[in-house]
A and B are shown apart, each in its own frame.
Chain A
C-alpha cells in the first residue's frame, strides 16, 4: 500500500498562490472522486480543507480550492497568508481502504 505522491515541500510569499500536487493511480485518485485534503499544524490534529476533490467545508477559506485531472489531484491556495504555513496531506479512497499522501510542508516566506 504505497502512499500517494506529494512534493516534500513548497513555498511562497504572502499574497502569492501555490499548488500542491497529489499523484496516484487509476486504482485510487484516478478511479474515484473521493480525494480530500487536510491541513496539519505542528502538534495539532489534521483539519479537513477539501473533500470529494473540490468541495470546501463551511468555515474553510475560499482561498483553498481543489481539482483533479486523471491520476493527479491538486490543492491550490491563493493569497497566501502566514497562517497557511503547515503540512498538507491528500487522501483517496482505494478498495476498502484510505490512502494518504506523504505530506507537503508549506512554507510562507
Chain B
C-alpha cells in the first residue's frame, strides 16, 4: 500500500525556518517525481515545488523561490522541504504528493502537516 506521511509542521515566528519531511512507503520512491502542494486555511490548493527522481532537477513556485528548497534522500525514501525566511502568508497545510510517471498528475497524497507562521 502506497503511503506518504508528512511531519515537521508547527508554529514558527516570521523570519524563521522549518524543515518538513515526507516518508514514503509501499512503492519504489526513487522512480517517481515528488511534489509539495500547500493549502492555506479556507483556501485552495497551491503548487509549491517538485523534484525529479534522482534529485538533479527542481522547480519552484515564484512565491517561494529563493526561500524554500526541496530535496530527497532516496536511501531513506524521504522527501524534504526546507523553508527559510517564513512569512505569515506561508501558513498552510503542506502536502507531499507523488506524480504519476511524468504525467503531471498526483495519484497519491499525504495527509498533510500544518505550518503556522505567527509571532
Contact with B along A20-33 (1 / 0, CB 8 A): 00000000000010
Interface centre among B44, B50, B62, B111 (most CB of A within 10 A): B44
Q: How far is the CA of A45 from the CA of B107 in the complex (A)?
A: 12
Q: Complex: how many Å from CA A77 to CA B111?
A: 25
Question: Binding site of A, secondary structure by majority: helix, strand, loop or mixed?
Answer: strand
Check if B100 is an interface residue, CB within 8 A of chain A. yes
Interface membership of B80, Cβ < 8 A: no
Instruction: Tell whether B47 is near chain A: CB-to-CB under 8 Å.
Output: yes
B59 at the interface (CB under 8 A from A): yes
In the assembled complex, which residues on chain A have CB atoms less than 8 Å from the CB atom of B107? 48, 51, 57
Chain B residues with CB below 8 A from A36, complex form: 104-106
Q: How far is the CA of A102 from the CA of B106 in the complex (A)?
A: 17
Give a binary string over A35-64; 1 marks a CB under 8 Å from any B CB, 0 the rest: 010101000011110011000010000000
Q: What are 11 A-B pairs at a CB distance below 8 A?
A: A36-B104, A45-B112, A46-B95, A52-B103, A52-B105, A57-B107, A97-B50, A98-B47, A100-B37, A100-B44, A103-B45
Contacts beyond the supplied A97-B61, A100-B45: 4 A-B pairs with Cβ under 8 Å: A34-B103, A51-B107, A52-B103, A91-B45
